[in-house]
Structure formats: C-alpha cells, structure tokens
Amino acid sequence: MQKIFVALLLLSTLAITSCSEKKDGESGSIDARVKELVSKMTIEEKAGQMTQVTIDVLTVGKSPFESDEPLKLDTATLRLAFEKYQIGSVLNTANNRARNPELWNSLIGEIQAYALEKSRLKIPVIYGLDMIHGASYVEGATLFPQQIGMAATWNPALIERAGEITAYETRAIGCPWTFSPVLDLGMDPRWPRQWETFGEDPLLASEMGVALIAGLQGKDNNMSDPNRIASCMKHFLGYSQTVSGKDRTPALLSMNALREYHLPSFKKAIDAGAATIMINSGEINGLPVHASKYLLTDLLKNELGFKGFVVSDWQDIEYLHLRHKVAASHKEAVKLAINAGVDMSMVPYNFDFPGYVVELVKEGEIPESRIDDAVSRILKVKLMLGLFETPITTRNNYPEFASENFAADARRTSLESITLLKNQNNILPLPADAKILVAGPAADNMRPLLGGWSYSWQGNLVNEFTTAYPTIFKAIRNISANQDAVKLAEVVKYAAEGDYRTEIKEDNSAFISLARQSDYIVLCLGENTYTETPGNASDLDLSENQKELVKMAASSGKPVIMVLVQGRPRLINDTEPLASAVLNAYLPGNYGGEAIARVLFGETNPSGKLPYTYPRFAYNTEPYFHKHTEALTNAGAPEGTTFNPQYPFGFGLSYTTFEYTDLTLDKVEYSATETLKVSVKVKNSSGRAGMEVVQIFVSDHFASLTPPVKRLRAFTKLMLQPGETQTVQFEIPAADLAFVNHENQTILEKGDFTISAANLKKDFKITEDKILKTGH
C-alpha cells in the first residue's frame, strides 16, 4: 500500500504540473493541445508513443515471457522503456492471470508514475486490457455472458448496462482502455472465436456493438468521466470468414461481400464514436490486413472517417515477416504496416519497433507526416480519456465495485440469454420437488460456463477464481424444493490441464443406479474453454464420450434434458432425438449456473433467441442469409433440402405462446428516399407473462446480383402479460434494402420485395433504381 501512496502522490504532483502547463500555454481545444504537443516532440518521442509492450517485459523475471511471483516491476527495464524509448502504451496481465484491484492499482500506478517522471512533455501511458465480458482480468469483478450470449438476449439495453459496469470496474483498477467489442460476424461455427462475436447477422452485431460502446464510453463519448473507458472495435476487417475456419488463416472475400456483410458493424461503431480499432491478424485475398493501405487508410480512415487510432494485434507487425512472408525483415514489416495505416504496434516483447521507426523516417521510407498523424491520433485519445489530468484511478473511489446491484444486472443478462430450443410435450419447467440426476462435464464445473478471456487467456484458471459461484448442479440443488433429491454423477469430466478437448471418463455404475431413482436426467454438455488458435477444431460433433452419455441416459427411460454449454454450436443431430428438451446456454458467465437452474424450474421464462444458424451437419454451415442456390430441392438430402439447419437463426421457445396478426405497411410502393412504416400485433395467448423478440425480415425477389433469401431489417424485445396484445411499430428506410454491387456501389434497385414477421408476409415495391453511395 505504501507503493500505491507514493505513486499516487507523484502522479498527483505531475498531474498538477501538467494542468498548469496546459493553462499557461495551451488552448482548451483537444486538437490544439495535440498539435502543440506533436510540434514539440522529437522523432524518438513520437516513435515511442506508437509502441506498446506487454507488462511481462517490465517485471522482474526470467524472460520477457514470464514474471517472477510475487510481481515486481524491474527498475532497469522501466528506465529503458520510458527514459530511452519513451513508450506510450502497456497491455496485458503478467503470467496470464487475473489480479486483485489493489495490485492492479499498484502496478499501473507505478508504471504511470515512472512514465510521467521520465517524459519530457509529461505524456501519460495508456494501459489496455482484454476486458471482454466484464472486467475479466480482475479478481472479484462482475462478469457477464460472453458476447454470443449477450447477442442471444436480443436486448441492447442490457448490453449497454454491461458496458457501463465493465467500464466502472475497469477504471477501478486504473485501466482506461479495453480491447472490446468484437465486431466480426460469427458466420462460421468452425471458427474458434465465434463465441466472441454478436452472431452472424450484420444488423444484430451493429446494434449490440453500438450498445456496448455506449456503455463503455458513454453515449456522449465523454471518456474523461472516471466511470468510462475507451473501447476498441476488432478485428477490422473480414477476420472471421476464413477459408479453413481456423483462426488467423487466409480469407478469400470479394470487396462487395466485405462491404455488404462485414463492414456495417464497424461503420455503425465508428459513427457512434468508438475510440480505437484493432486489425485482423489474417490476410484477405493474399494481402495481410496489417499491410493493406486500401483497407486501413483509404477505407477506414478516409472513406469511413475514423478519427481514433489503429492498433495492431499481438505481434502482428513482426508476423508480416515471420508468418506472412510479405516482408524480408522486421524493419521492412514496420515500414509496410505504418505506411498502410497502423498507428500503434502491439509489439509486444521487445523495444525494436521504435528504433525501426526512427531509422525508416530518417531514411525517407516513412514520411514524418504519417508518424505525426499516428501520434496525433494516440494523443487525442489520451486527452479524451483525461489521462493528462488524472493519470490513475483507484479502487477506493469505486464503492460499487462487485456490488449486488451489478450482480443483479449480470444475472438478468444471463437469464435473458438462455435459449430454449426444444420442449417436447412441455416437459419443462420441472416440478420443484422433482428427483433430478445431473451429469456431464459441465455439471459441476464453473470453467465451461465462462469460456476464454476469463481470469486468463484460455479460461483455464476459472475454477480458482469462482469458488463463490454455484455450478449448474449446485444451483439446481439450491433452488430445488427437495435438495436431497438432486444427485450428481458426472460420468464425463473435462481435464483440468492440457488440450481443451481432453476428457476423463469415469465409471458409470453410480449414474445407472441413480438414473433408476430419478424422475429426470439433466445432461450438461458442450465443450471446455478455449480461444484463438488453440481452439481450432477438427470437427463440430459432441465428443464420443458425451454422445455415449446421452444414449445411456436415454436408455434409462427417464426424460433427458440437454443443457448445452458451448462457445460454438456442437452438432447434436444424432443425440437431439433422444432428448425431451434442449437448452442452449452459450457461455453464460458467473451467474450461468443460477440462470440455467431458474429456467429449468420455471422461475424465469426463457426469452433468448439464437444469434446464429444452428447447423445440423458439418458440411451445412451456411448462415440464414444464404443464397437461393444454397437451398435447392435435393431428393438425397434429409428433409428434402440442402439447407436444413438444426434450428434457424432467431429461433427460441418460451413457456408462453405468442400470436402474430395484422402485419401492415403504410404503403405498397416506396421511392428510394422513403421509409417503410411497419406494424404488427403480438398477443400473449397463454396464462403466463413472457418476453418476445419481434423480428422483421425482408426478401428481395430479384436483383442484378443474386439476392439472399432474406435479411433481418429490424427487431425489438417486449414483455407481454397474459392475454395482452401490443401493436409493435417499426420504421425501415428504403435505403436499408440496398446492396453492394461489383463496382462497390451501394445500390437500391426497383422491384418486388416481401416483408415478414413470424408466419406473416406482405409484398411491396421499390419504384426506382438509385445509387446511394460509391465506395473507393
């Protein structure tokens, strides 16, 4: 604590000096302050601002990859980092594990104090962490469902609140910047980061992304508010749709497809004021995105008007040389990336980058104007965050950290994410006093409930930090009216160490015996935690051990309820018929066990909807907005069609029934500048209150480029009491029905369209062709 006090005292003095200098010599305008600072900086100082290293580089340890415990900053390395190289940013957590708020305050406070003491111009460091679903690298913080579960709520207000709480608890440790949200589309279930996305649809991803950014930065983007932090949209652009489905592998994507599907979520976030952006680690059509001047400068900065700064992903500038082989040396890689438009290099293990930048500028290989632009963008964000005035914020000023109020919001988000996919003969909800056998690898294990980026990169430390939270089994037992009647026999367990796919199969005799005594069997299945390249998969099936467990449970003759705890949708076509009910829990967070139990017993009425198409087969993974040629009649295919998902996008059952009537449009013909005014009546036709997501889709009958079968164009979530009817209204600009052609023109073509809500449809016409925008 003494170190914290000393660091804060020094920071306070330096901040006062900084403020005094601002009043004496700088205007109140952030842009003017940036311009003046840049004019005073040497090329070495500028290159330092563009440099980001991981904290393990700055600690006492055997190497830059490992820190000694307990953590201690290395004075000699700090001097090198901030006196010689004047680096502008630090990221990550040491030894890949969460830390308590007090230790974070000490570490970040000491770093900030040392950086300001050595900085000639008193420029603070910006510290960044992957606070992905809450302050996920902080012991005791409030963690929410992962983004895929957030998307399943279809409730942007909940996601904005999650952003607010994440920002508050992140500032409590002294960190002003998170590498979130992920705005890539989760279109391919093979991809190991699908669960980090808001699903496969551009509109859903856009709305959820904007909501999360509003929570993180504030709706007015007043990031100097000590309760707000800077967001970082990622990973621009096309990262998620690789040819192989594996992480960081090549993509082959046309520019009109990139613009039509992958760009909208980023454009909406940029328009909302997102402060920073991280780049796709892969390549598109043979060119690494980190080396693409067209994507990073022409499109992102010039066409879209992005004013924040661009940060590379982990070591990705070096990888232009080491992996992609488009640069013959690290120095050439730096030249390619900076000239392409990267502003800050997540180096992260050495101080070579700033030296290369200085050399390349002096050699005329990088224009100093490009460096000035990069540094101006970085300084602007630091000023917007108020770091010059308040370099560090501390836990003692954040009394709501880990509060019960925050926990209530996380619980609600988890509850609204749970998606009921099957409920044969209304087997759910379960009787309160039912005899229940709980089994499977996710039954009594917190780790699969949280996923990666939870207390560590791969999520392998979850159980160390979550002893206060109930697993699914414990939550079911806690809620049951007959706790002694809730039994556990896992049969299959996830290995605590090693590859996430490794499982341990136990003797099944206890399961067989307990199954005979039970009324219901709840199987908690899915996959263990992973992210990025370690999560690459060779197939999408449930493991053979888990399949055998389902078959054994079904053979008992007792009703089987499958609870799927998973990042990607695992194939269940051969086990789903054996289950009476199926719940998709995604990665619901620390309150996931409780949420699942409450839905099973009917304390909460499920309202989640799938944010992706749940595939039936490994070779049928098309999104819902597939083309007509991907759904041809085929006598040899199951169900008579080649597009036959297990469950469609947007699907989710409730314990309530809803009826849709009176879908209306205000007109039958629209010009390109008009707006469709849509209304539909939704009635709760049951005796129980419930929430329903109203989804509006539009289909273009014919177009000059093959149209998708339909696109989501609007949605809202509402609560209906028993017997209640609400008229739901939407306004959809006709321009939203445009598509991007091969000339990169956003064009609306005249012709026939169909709008639909549930089982209702209405036809209408667009009366004119109109080019709305021409891309570069």
pLDDT in tens, 417-435: 999 999 999 999 999 999 9
Kindly provide the b/e burial profile for residues 74-90, where b requires at least 16 CB atoms within 10 angstroms of the residue's own CB: beebbeebbeebbbbbb
Give the mean pLDDT of 170-178. Answer: 98
Kindly provide the b/e burial profile for residues 467-486, where b requires at least 16 CB atoms within 10 angstroms of the residue's own CB: eebbbbbbbbbebbeeeebb
Residue 184 is a catalytic residue: no
Measured between alpha carbons, how far is 695 from 201 in angstroms, rounded to an integer?
A: 12
The pLDDT of residue 775: 86
Give the mean pLDDT of 315-332. Answer: 98
> CA dist 100 to 92, 172, 214, Å?
14, 11, 26
Considering only residues 631 and 391, tell me which one the structure prediction assigns the higher pLDDT.
391
21 has a pLDDT exceeding 80: no
Measured between alpha carbons, how far is 212 from 206 in angstroms, rounded to an integer?
A: 10
The pLDDT of residue 300: 98
The pair of structure tokens assigned to 622 is: 């098309």
Report the mean per-residue pLDDT for the chain.
Answer: 95
The pLDDT of residue 19: 41
Annotated catalytic residue: which of 56, 313, 316, 444?
313
Phi, psi of 675 (to 5 degrees): -120, 130
25 has a pLDDT exceeding 60: no
5 has a pLDDT exceeding 60: no
Neighbouring CB atoms inside 10 A of 699's CB total 19
9 has a pLDDT exceeding 50: no
Give the mean pLDDT of 94-103. Answer: 98
15 has a pLDDT exceeding 70: no
pTM for this one? 0.96
Percent of the chain topping pLDDT 90: 94
Phi, psi of 731 (to 5 degrees): -120, 120
607 has a pLDDT exceeding 70: yes
The pLDDT of residue 632: 78
The pLDDT of residue 776: 78
Give the mean pLDDT of 704-720. Answer: 98
Measured between alpha carbons, how far is 548 from 441 in angstroms, rounded to an integer?
A: 13
The pLDDT of residue 428: 98
Give the mean pLDDT of 394-417. Answer: 98
Considering only residues 13 and 197, tell me which one the structure prediction assigns the higher pLDDT.
197
Give the mean pLDDT of 475-491. Answer: 98
Contact yes or no for 740/775 (Cβ under 8 A): yes
The pLDDT of residue 636: 54
72 has a pLDDT exceeding 70: yes
The CA-CA-CA angle for residues 358, 361, 362, to 5°, reads 85
Contacts of 445 (CB under 8 A, 6+ apart): 463, 471, 493, 494
Nearest CA to 82 out of 126, 117, 47, 133 is that of 117
The pLDDT of residue 686: 96
Measured between alpha carbons, how far is 185 from 169 in angstroms, rounded to an integer?
A: 27
Query: What tens digit of pLDDT does each residue of 616-656 get?
Result: 999 889 999 999 999 876 655 554 467 899 999 999 999 99
The pLDDT of residue 24: 35
Residues 204/193/210/413 CA torsion (nearest 10 deg): 80
3-state SS class at 555? helix
Contact yes or no for 541/581 (Cβ under 8 A): no
The pair of structure tokens assigned to 304 is: 């879209």
The pLDDT of residue 437: 98
